[in-house]
Structure 1
Amino acid sequence: MGWSLTIPPKIWDRLSDHVLGSAARGAVLLAGLADGPRGPRLLARELILADEGTDYVPGEFGHRALAPTFVRDAVIRARDEGLAYIAVHAHLGLDHVGFSEIDLASHERGYPSLGQISGQVVGALVLTDHAAAGDLWLPDGRREELAETIVPTGNLLRLRSQPAAEGCPDSLHDRQARLLGDLGQETLRRLRVAVVGLGGVGSILVEELARLGVGELVLIDDEAVEKTNLPRLVASELGDIGRLKTELAARNARRANPDVHLTEIAQRVERPESLEELVRCDWIFLAADGDAARHWVNAAVQQYLVPATQVGVKVPLTPQGEVGQIHTATRLVLPGSGCLWCNRLIDPTRLAIDMHPAEEREAAQYIPGVPAPSVITLNTLAAAEAVNHFVLSVVGLHDEEGDHASVIHRPRTRQRDLQNPRQGQNCRWCTSSGQLGLGRRGSTPL
């Protein structure tokens, strides 16, 4: 438990290139504040780089320091926008880092006054290539260390002041720990993961996540089981018809892992009860088809900096019943890296329809009452791709940290393609200039 700082990948790339490229460079992060799964979270939404010689100058007490005018301007911006002020610099080293005595003395001289000016959290972050430490000063006068700095990129970076202690051996998961390591298995046990949509794909996701040993699952779906669902819902039975899908998912998760902690929400994702839990997760799996679910999960990713994976299967049919090009899609949705709106995966008209009551949604459909094809083997293909990426990401086993591409399978041709996400230049959701999105929790409600 403790404070954490999450930095979107593109901001992290600029920050690390600037401060880790030279010990004589500094910067300031402006960050929102939110509750997280293990304590308060700072959400970096803007980076202000300090130019050497102008904004980062020889210090009165130490080697270098941020210029007073640079600090003043950044703190006033933090105050005006209701954001935390975090000064950043680098030290030499690899996987251990800490503040020097000169650093700490400068914090004690300056941060109480900066906190009075801004009325927000103020603090400092010091980095090496593989470690980070933070010193936070809260508006109520308390002082806190930063437990970890998180970067949701291809490999989910979790930087601490020193390497984490080795995980305890887990005999139940011994075979997979031989790949993931004891520490990797412990990482899974500490994660809080949401699954939105518990139908054909979501049912498989829950089963796999529970068996992998993920410690906490948030299950979100407002629908009940119908007879035609049974061929695609894991471990479902005739007697389950009419029961909530959340009940089946919870039953299967407990059967797979008796120690898993579950939060069941039999509501649509846009309901306050759902959103409150969704934004307090480490990862979100989106397995619901509707545009409303896509919109609200996209908002959670961008405003609260929670990475997500959108998983889907498309089986196109012509009016004559001919089968088109089947494809499954596993899309990584990262904060600040091209959102579902940028990639035209949310339709404004369908979103407007999807936000109406159920009877109005049904009446507004172009072809009422015609369900889309769905086959468990295709669902399994999409779910396995999504969970494999998640597991390798959280334990740091991807070869390329910067690989954020979606995976498209076309089973009829046995073809597999990668699609890089597109980002609109001034997207209001996933850019720092956006009015609604990136790290905006605190200034704009979800």
Structure 2
Amino acid sequence: MAEPTRTPTLPSIEPAQRLRQRRPESREGDPMVRHQVNPPADGWSLALPPRMWAELSEHLFLDGDEHGAVILAGIADGPRGPRLLGRELLIATDGVDYVAGTFGYRALSPEFVRDAAVRAADEQLAYLAVHNHFGSTSVGFSPVDFASHERGYPALRQITGQVVGAVVFTPQAAAGDLWLRDGARAELAEVIVPGNNLIRLRPRLAPATVSDLRYDRQARLFGDQGQETFNRLRVAVVGLGGVGSMLVEFLSRLGVGHLVLIDDEKVEETNLSRLIAAEQTDVGKLKTDLASRNALRANPEITLEPIAERVEHPTARQALASCDWIFLAADTDAARHWVNETVHRYLIPATQAGVKVPVGADGTIGQIHAATRLLVPGKTCMWCDGLINSTNLAIDMHPGEERRLARYLDEVPAPSVIALNSVAVAEAVNHFMLAVTALHEDDTDTASILHRPRSRDRALVVSRQDPTCSACGLNGPLGRGDS
């Protein structure tokens, strides 16, 4: 994999030149401020599919009592440290599986622990015991909790051969104690729920930050913590044509700190009218070079990882797997499949943005569509929605010349106009920036957005889901990570 490039940092801005803004205080009953904004943390993290978090929350916080469960999780490298990936939730039934404890208030029954540990060993998944405490924005283990970990987890780790540990939750905080396979012990830095709002639960609220003066006007909306979140994110853009070049421009100016740029194509003369800041002399250059130049112009401190390969190349796939968010702006079935695979295997949210301009053989123009689709781990899937054609995917996976002969020899280029592309791009980036700063009113709204510029209407399209799907269900790679 190509080494990321880092540009020299700008001179630091003195505190007197900075403005410190805060997000508005919470108002009772206001759903827009239910979640605290915690910038990404370094260290071990746990990602939970939104459906799993909803089921777990209902179990843990249904009443004022303590409840328990076990999460079985895959493992992968993440953007800021190792990442645990929730694959299965095993609910402990009160009074049967979660019973009065010998040393503490309650505990998982020996039989429940045994069965869950055997399953973890068989599936090669991490074992995480879960319970809840009372509180809101901070949480930690009690001395009784730690004592129980020290009595049981060394043996449990030996039995499973996997990472074992415990996670304690409140509705707005989480803490974890992990016992690693090499004998080390680590804290859990954060729990991530990648839904319509990208929720981050930490043991306590992140310390206050101060925004760069360049982002003052944005920080007045997102708050200093929200702006710092953008800076710490690793975001991929797959496809750097008309839509992708705009995405890079918007994300760079938003303050995203690290961009992975994936495209193997070179600039052609017919691209110039819709590539941001393209010049005649750019013809023949790699699109990754043009996108990198534009990103650096917009944000000289950004870290870039240009990958001049197709998305199915191992280097590109490995880079995608350690991102916080993926934007899909390539319209091949291979790009759709591999991004969809990454979303569900590594629990990384993604957004597809694109425009379709149908033109008949007689020149008749059909209904123009500008689409923005949110891909949510374990919930929205391009296979379930019929957006991937298996025959075209098989063709896409052939070497370049074979692809050309099989599919593209007589293909007529589709129309593409920069202003139409901007409709999809603006919708995609607006959703992203509100999601990562927890400003969406509904955590669960994952509908796609379809603009029809000719009729000037806008529709929400609810994704279908097949429970037997081998891409997004438990029959597939959901949460398996690198295993």
TM-score range for the pair, normalised by the shorter chain length = over 0.9
Please give the per-residue CA displacement for 1:305-333, whole angstroms capped at 9, x wherever unaligned.
Answer: 11100111000111101000001110000
The residue aligned with 1:187 is 229
Q: What is the CA–CA distance in structure 1 between the aligned matches of 2:414 and 2:394, rounded to whole Å? A: 21
The 5-angstrom pairing of residues 197-346 of structure 1 reads: 197-346=239-388
Q: Do the aligned residues in 2 keep the contact of 1:187 with 1:395 (CA within 8 Å)?
A: yes
Q: Do the aligned residues in 2 keep the contact of 1:300 with 1:306 (CA within 8 Å)?
A: yes
TM-score normalized by the length of structure 1 = 0.98
Q: Partner letter of residue 93 of structure 1?
A: G
Q: What is the CA–CA distance in structure 1 between the aligned matches of 2:256 and 2:54, rounded to whole Å? A: 29
The residue aligned with 2:482 is 442
Please give the per-residue CA displacement for 1:226-245, whole angstroms capped at 9, x wherever unaligned.
Answer: 00000000000000000000
Q: How many matched pairs? A: 441
Q: Partner letter of residue 120 of structure 1?
A: Q
Please give the per-residue CA displacement for 1:144-190, whole angstroms capped at 9, x wherever unaligned.
Answer: 00000000011100000111111212101111111011110000000
Q: Partner letter of residue 20 of structure 1?
A: F
The 5-angstrom pairing of residues 327-366 of structure 1 reads: 327-365=369-407
Matched, 1:410 2:418: no
Tell me the CA shift for residue 431 of structure 1: 1.3
Tell me the CA shift for residue 359 of structure 1: 2.0
The 5-angstrom pairing of residues 384-403 of structure 1 reads: 384-403=426-445
Q: Partner letter of residue 422 of structure 1?
A: R
Q: Do the aligned residues in 2 keep the contact of 1:121 with 1:137 (CA within 8 Å)?
A: yes
The residue aligned with 1:10 is 51
- Secondary structure of 1:273's match? helix
Tell me the CA shift for residue 366 of structure 1: 7.0
Q: Do the aligned residues in 1 keep the contact of 2:66 with 2:133 (CA within 8 Å)?
A: no
Tell me the CA shift for residue 338 of structure 1: 2.5
The 5-angstrom pairing of residues 425-436 of structure 1 reads: 425-432=467-474, 434=475, 436=476
TM-score normalized by the length of structure 2 = 0.90
Q: What is the CA–CA distance in structure 2 between the aligned matches of 1:368 and 1:178, rounded to whole Å? A: 52
Q: Do the aligned residues in 2 keep the contact of 1:6 with 1:151 (CA within 8 Å)?
A: yes
Matched, 1:68 2:110: yes
Please give the per-residue CA displacement for 1:111-162, whole angstroms capped at 9, x wherever unaligned.
Answer: 1110010111000010001000001011111110000000001110000011
Matched, 1:103 2:134: no
Quick one: which of 166, 191, 199 aligns to 2:208? 166
Please give the per-residue CA displacement for 1:180-224, whole angstroms capped at 9, x wherever unaligned.
Answer: 111100000000000000000000000000000000000000000
Task: Structure 2 unaligned segments of length 5 or more: list them.
Answer: 1-41
Q: Do the aligned residues in 2 keep the contact of 1:115 with 1:137 (CA within 8 Å)?
A: yes
- Secondary structure of 1:253's match? helix
- Secondary structure of 1:249's match? helix
- Secondary structure of 1:365's match? helix
Q: Partner letter of residue 270 of structure 1?
A: E
- Secondary structure of 1:77's match? helix
The residue aligned with 1:20 is 61
Quick one: which of 82, 89, 95 aligns to 2:124? 82
Matched, 1:196 2:238: yes
The residue aligned with 2:27 is none
